[in-house]
Amino acid sequence: MAEAVYTPTTTPNPGNSFCLIPSAHLDRNRFILKVVEVVLSFIAFILEETVDSCFTCSPLYFFEFVSCTAFLFTLLLLVLLSTKLHEKIHIEAWPTVVRTWRLCFSRSSPLS
């Protein structure tokens, strides 16, 4: 008798998941690529912070700014696109936002 009462109410609801991978804006392969981007930009920022001395520090400060900004904004994009938060922001052109972001950081790299 207990099974008849609780069975209909305990079924999992896959639509209530916190993480939406794959979604319309981010498939599994791009999600993995974004995670790798976040990790690499964080590693670049940490390695830059370990520099003790430099002869001309202005390129190092620029790289610090770029790597920290890349880490924070790529992490923000990853969280927004992999959760339901992108629905609350109401940005309709997510591919354009991601493309513009990628273009900004590929142009601002001190190594390019």
Task: Summarize pLDDT for 22-31 with one digit per residue, the tens.
Answer: 777 778 888 8
Whether residue 2 is predicted with pLDDT greater than 70 in this model: the reply is no
Report cis status (omega within 30 of 0) of the bond before 22: yes
Per-residue pLDDT tens over the stretch 63-76 = 888 888 888 988 98
Per-residue pLDDT tens over the stretch 13-58 = 555 666 677 777 778 888 888 889 899 989 988 998 898 888 888 8
Cα distance between residue 61 and residue 59, in whole Å: 5
Which of 67, 109, 101 minimizes the C-alpha distance to 81? Answer: 101
Which pTM does this prediction carry? 0.66
CB 89 within 8 A of CB 80: yes
Cα distance between residue 66 and residue 107, in whole Å: 11
Quick one: tokens of 65?
A: 């700014």
Cα distance between residue 81 and residue 87, in whole Å: 9
- The residue ranges of every structural domain in the chain are 21-107
